[in-house]
Amino acid sequence: MDAIDREILRELQKGGRLTNQELAQRVGLTPSPCMRRVRQLEQDGVIQGYRAVIDPDAVGRGFEVLVSVEVRRDRESVEAFEAALQDIPDVIEAYRLFGSPGCLLRIAVADLRAYERLWIEQLTALTGITEVNSQIIMKRIKEPTGLPV
């Protein structure tokens, strides 16, 4: 990966809907080699996909919570917990961590009532859970904008 590839990645992270023509112009290439580079970055798995950034409030998910979860530290419990998370659409990000807490979840729901329902009916009911701690997000200070490349 050279400097031009990195510039392509920076530009696509800023605006994934750029036409190849616009992208080529921004990175100082003609369209054909630019397209070849983008396709190669996709084939190599460097570019993993393209997404729209959606306003959570516009889709009724403006109430976000960071949840730290302790799971029993045996393989069966951890695997069951991780598999169960895949079926909970309100969990929009999930990370297994070294140390404590064992997992960190980012949850997006409509409001406090919806989160309480999720907490009671789904989170605390998951196999292997020993502790659930919630931190309600007051304000997003820095939005994810991509990786520095």
Give residue-wise pLDDT tens across range 41-99.
999 999 999 999 999 999 999 999 999 999 999 999 999 999 999 999 999 999 999 99
**Sign of dihedral through CA atoms 68, 71, 73, 76?**
negative
- Tell me: cis bond preceding 33? Omega within 30 of 0 counts: no
> What single-letter DSSP state applies at residue 137?
-
The C-alpha atoms of residue 107 and residue 28 are separated, in whole angstroms, by: 41
Q: What are phi and psi of 143, to 5 degrees?
A: -80, 150
Query: At 145, is the pLDDT very low, low, confident or very high (cuts 50, 70, 90)?
Result: confident
20 pLDDT above the threshold of 90: yes
pLDDT tens per residue, range 114-130? 999 999 999 999 989 99
